[in-house]
Amino acid sequence: MKLIKLIWLILSVFPQLIIAQEVFTDSYGKEYIYLGSTQNQKQNFLNTGNGSIEWINISTKQNMTQAGILSPSDFWNKLTQNSIGFHASGYEPFWDAKINQNQLQFISEKEGSTNIVIDLKNSSLTDNFVAFFHSHDNIYGFIRSVSTEAFCEASLDEPASIYEVYIDYQGKIFEGCAYLDKL
């Protein structure tokens, strides 16, 4: 019983140890998961009722109620169930990638697709969502959320996002931004 109280106390004081992404409800009771991108004064959300991605005006979002926060694994499961993954890009050199639950598709001067394993957590230093990935082909990387006040923008053609990505592709480091979208 003391152990349960201690765990409850720790999680009450440090809730960021188990959180990843916010869940909102609108005035009609529809549930949305914030996906972390902003473009043209709108933010993207996963509509949990129908699995679609919806861009909601920032002023409308202010009228929504935060209904909860998902753990990293629950957040990732909702994404994969709805065929949503990370779309990443960067420059110096220019590159693009798609990252889903078990595959990295990389497009650059080195192009290829490889199976990966993803490990999820919230950083105990920054309280941010972090997804580490690796393959048997010497490819390593991580995606992490940055502060919502400091969006990551690698391209004017893509939405500003709260996710940045680093990929070590067989010894060469690629740095960029990532956003969530349908695969």
Q: Each residue of 156-181: pLDDT tens digit?
A: 778 999 999 999 988 889 999 999 99
Provide the domain count of the chain: 2
Q: How many residues does the chain have?
A: 183
- Residue 153 shares a structural domain with residue 94: yes
The residue type found at 22 is E
- Residue 67 shares a structural domain with residue 99: no
Q: Each residue of 81-107: pLDDT tens digit?
A: 999 999 999 987 889 999 998 999 988
The answer to whether 167 and 173 are in contact (CB under 8 A) is yes
Q: Which of 53, 81, 109 is the last residue of a domain?
A: 81
Cα(33)–Cα(69) distance, integer angstroms: 9
| Domain around 48 | 2-81
Cα(93)–Cα(178) distance, integer angstroms: 16
